[in-house]
Structure 1
Amino acid sequence: MKVQSVSADSQHHFSKVVQPSITLLAGLGVAGDAHAGVTVQHRSRVRQDPTQPNLRQVHLLAAELLEELRGRGFAVQPADLGENILTSGVKLLDLPRGTRLHLGSAAVIEVTGLRNPCAQIEHFQTGLLAAVLDKASDGQLIRKAGIMGVVLEGGEVHAGDRIRVELPPEPHQKLERV
């Protein structure tokens, strides 16, 4: 389980820019990223209520999803879908809420929920929104566009850093969209 790539962007663009490293700031998110802050920074959420806590400080995405999408004909690369951290070997969507992800030597992210893909993903590439959504056998919507988290412990994160997963105490709570 490791970090494949890291990315950030100081502007509210759909895609981010791959970086050699990012700095996670406790309680804020990724230093220099448009989505860092104590309160919500995603523009749609700010319009609803700018005082909401920012449960979407860091966006993590599985490299395996990019591979799946490329296999379906989409041209997607690291940072294209707006993730801050691209992981490999971690089944992100299966993690319970409250899972702690230890990255590199010091950083810790607590998982808050699922990323809810918006219309911007469809504007990026036609058909991509449907490709990151699925239906379970019981009819429940499956959001595959990654997970969100908050920074508990700051630190530098680089491509190649190991990820250690620390599950919360049981009973585990299923991830919901945040």
Structure 2
Amino acid sequence: MSGTVTAVSSNGVYSFTKPNRDSVRLLAGLGVEGDVHAGVTVKHRSRVAQDPTQPNLRQVHLIHEELFAEVADAGFPVAAGELGENITTRGIDLLGLPVGALLRIGDEAVLEVTGLRNPCLQINAFRNGLLKQVVGRDEAGNVVRRAGIMSIVREGGTVRPGDTIEAELPDGPHRPLERV
């Protein structure tokens, strides 16, 4: 399974959106250099309020560009970085990856997939009604989250638009992604 990086984004201050960059540097065990969510322990405000000592399983947020086309068709225009992701992708089924999958990006960087992003109500402040477009229910009533995946940095490196992404699945039975 492979794809391409279409945009990279980071922000050193808390805000819902993140500006696009020419490149971002991933730091092993920390996340995106200079990004407010980088660190060994959780940085998302709601997680810090619960337990600031828990490990940061949300160092790097990835979203598939194909989601933007889907929500735009429903009347919600969204561009890369506007949902707070660090890496925007094309051509790879991020949501279909199992926990522990490795994403080899460009020549150096390796991310380990930890789970699904669980978007909060801030998404409706950005575009009223968008939350229902990215979180819904399937026929069986199970919650379906489509706002991207979260990962940790196993090997650092610089990531740029145009870099290739190669997914490597873990051995053994695969665990489906759950919210982290």
Q: CA deviation at 1:101?
A: 0.1
Matches within 5 A, 1:22-171: 22-171=24-173
TM-score (norm 1): 0.99
Calculate the aligned-residue CA RMSD, in Å: 0.6
Q: Alpha-carbon deviations, 1:42-101, whole Å to 9, x = none?
A: 011111110000000000000000111111111211100000000000111110000000
What CA deviation, in whole Å up to 9, does each residue of 1:109-141 have, x standing for no partner? Answer: 000000001010011110000010121222111
Given residue 173 of structure 2, which amino acid in structure 1 is its aligned partner?
P
After TM superposition, the runs of 4+ consecutive aligned structure 1 residues lying more than 2 A away are none
Distance (whole Å) between structure 2 residues aligned to residue 138 and residue 95 of structure 1 = 21
Q: Which amino acid aligns with 1:93?
A: L
Q: Equivalent pairs: percent with the same residue?
A: 56
Which amino acid in structure 2 is aligned with residue 2 of structure 1? Answer: T
- In structure 2, distance between residues paired with 1:75 and 1:63: 12
Q: Shift of the alpha carbon at 1:165?
A: 0.4
User: Structure 2 stretches of 5 or more lacking a match?
Assistant: none
Residue identity matched to 1:20? D
Shift of 1:160: 0.3
How far the C-alpha of 1:170 sits from its partner, in A, is: 2.1
Alpha-carbon distance between aligned partners in 1 of 2:162 and 2:49, rounded to the nearest angstrom: 37
Please list every run of 5 or more consecutive structure 1 residues that lacks an aligned counterpart in the other structure: none
